[in-house]
Structure 1
Amino acid sequence: MTCFICAACGTQFDENIEPPRTCPICEDDRQFVPQSGQQWTDMTTLRATHCIVWKEEAKGIHSLQISPDFGIGQRAFLIETPEGNILWDCLSLIDEASKARIVAMGGLSAVAISHPHFYASMIEWSAAFGNAPIHIHADDGRWVQRTSAALRPLTGESLEIGPATMIRCGGHFEGSAVLHCPWLEDRRGALFVGDTMQVTMDRRYVSFMRSYPNLVPLNAKAVKAIAQAVRPYRFEAIYGAFPGRTIENDGNRIVERSAERYLEAIAS
């Protein structure tokens, strides 16, 4: 029996003898099935050809990315907290070097994930660290492809994970969430946004989409709700889903002006 992994989006599925016929996440209009068709791999095969590259982004913040690129190509974050390490978002691969490094850093107290595109091999990551609790939003529960007792679906608008706060924003997915860490960046605060907000290439704005690969925008109501959800929280830095997509300063004002720019664009 094998837990097959979708090569397009990187999602790991429950054990089976044969790979699934389709990947529901790729079939949805927020992702896509490659023109070459649906292809599958597994953890053993992936470990033979790929590894995880670490980068210290700032004090207490480490980004992790699969190399060479695999699936969507997102970065996950190992966030050090006074109450234990949090893995924000997830990767399809967990390699032995990363496992040993995290154990040496004190293990994982929790896994928290912004939305279904980054569920990846979340059950495998949790199991490697004593079945650490996995926090996703219950609104996205139907997209879970591998089940576990470690899953802790959030049903409200926010959740305290040690000193961090997971905040439901909606938009990209119904349960799309961000993670607020007020002690980071010398107590100036950091916001980890996944795809809930996409840090733009000029690092001066964030933007919002229902589907990034298929260029489907969000409506005004959804964008206003995202801005409103994070407004009570103070943060200077914004860490996006992809390498280099980091805003270092003025995070609160950038979210506000980004929402204003977006709303003006779709209204004209």
Structure 2
Amino acid sequence: MTSAAPGSVTQCATCGVERAEPLPEVCPICADDRQYVPAGGQRWTHPEASAAHGARIEFLEREADVINLVHRECPGIGQKPALIRTDHGNVLVEAPNHISEEAVAAVRGWGGISALIASHPHMYGVQSLWSAAFDDAPVYVSAPDEHWLGLRPRNTVVWGGGHQGEEIEIVPGVRASQPGGHFPGSAVVHWTARDGRGVLFTGDTIGTVADPRWVTFMRSFPNWMPLSGAVVRRIADHVARYEVDRIYANFGGCVPHDAGAAVHRSAERYARWVDGEYDDLT
């Protein structure tokens, strides 16, 4: 687990997460049962090679002060990091899997980046390069998942090593905590928008679904591995500390209103199904 200068970062082509030399035989994040190594085997790349094949970042304004960074032709799993714009500095939730001068200039136009936080290791992307592009902005990494770092950004802030309920304030008005679930250190980020409503950025801790009235919970989304009813209820109880009107997940999904209630009723429905309460319907 070493540091690397911009330009020397290698990425797994499958998950997009950065890694320093010497490279392992296979990406540990992809070899884990929450992800996968493709049938064609391990492949490595880097941002310069991706750019030569058309990789780029586009920008989508979701609401006032929330901008998604959208991957086009990039390595990795296609997450849509969210830039939260505040009067106290901007926070990038999840890290892109690509970086370019054009993308950095665009983010500067939105007010830059004061801090980065990934919800879990699948979202580390090339966070060291984005941090370096913004004066070594701090990169928040949850303590239970720190060992997944294949490259440590120069300004890494390890947090949440005490207990799962621990909370930090990244900038005034933007707080993070660790309900766990998908990973032991899986984090959510809460922000109070200018309309006074609470917005929760949930990563893979709470997943959006086709019906915006509901959400879901999984250990692995690509491999469809569930969590237990007890863990799902724990996650719902954890996020109940926040007033949540809207949810933004990490792949562009959204619960547009009354999201706190959606989490509660979804957790109950999920727990009852996995606990066998509805087995007679199967």
TM-score (norm 1): 0.95
Write the letter of the residue equivalent to 2:14: A
1:7 is aligned to 2:13: yes
Q: CA deviation at 1:102?
A: 1.9
- Secondary structure of the residue aligned to 1:32 is coil
**Per the alignment, in what secondary structure is the counterpart of residue 25 of structure 2?**
coil
Output the CA distance in 1 between the equivalents of 2:141 and 2:248: 19
Matched, 1:264 2:269: no
What's the counterpart of residue 177 of structure 1? 187
The letter for the 2-side match of 1:7 is A
Task: Report the CA distance between 1:220 and its aligned residue.
Answer: 2.0
Give me the CA root mean square deviation: 1.4
Q: How many Å apart are 1:247 and its aligned residue? A: 1.0
Query: What is the DSSP-based 3-state SS (H/G/I as helix, E as strand, rest coil) of the residue aligned with 1:55?
Result: strand
Identify unmatched segments of 5+ residues in structure 2.
Answer: 1-6, 277-282
Matched, 1:248 2:256: yes
Alpha-carbon distance, 1:69 to partner: 5.2
Partner of 2:78: 73
Quick check: 2:127–2:153 contact (8 Å CA) kept in 1? no
Output one character per residue of 1:116-142: Cα deviation in whole Å (capped at 9) or x when no partner. 000010111100100000112100011
Q: Find the aligned partners of 2:8 and 2:170 in 1 and give their Cα distance.
A: 32
Q: Secondary structure at the match of 2:219?
A: strand
**TM-score where L is the length of structure 2:** 0.90
Unaligned runs of 5+ in 1: none
Residues 36-47 of structure 1 aligned to structure 2 (within 5 Å): 36-47=40-51
- Counterpart pick for 1:20 among 5, 10, 24: 24
The number of residue pairs the alignment matches comes to: 264
Query: Which of the numbers 207, 219, 226 marks the counterpart of 1:210?
Result: 219
Distance 2:224 2:105 in 1: 40
Change (3 A) 1:9 1:159: same
CA–CA separation in structure 1 for the residues paired with 2:41 and 2:8: 20
| CA distance in structure 1 between the aligned counterparts of 2:119 and 2:259, rounded to whole angstroms | 18
Q: CA deviation at 1:183?
A: 2.4
CA distance in 2, matches of 1:106, 1:191: 21
CA shift in 2, pair 1:102/1:54, >3 Å: same
Q: Distance in 1 between matches of 2:176 and 2:152?
A: 21
Question: Mapping of 1:1-268 within 5 angstroms?
Answer: 2-16=8-22, 19-48=23-52, 49-68=54-73, 70-155=75-160, 156=162, 157-162=166-171, 163-184=173-194, 186-243=195-252, 245-268=253-276
Query: How far apart, in 1, do the equivalents of 2:24 and 2:45 lie?
Result: 11
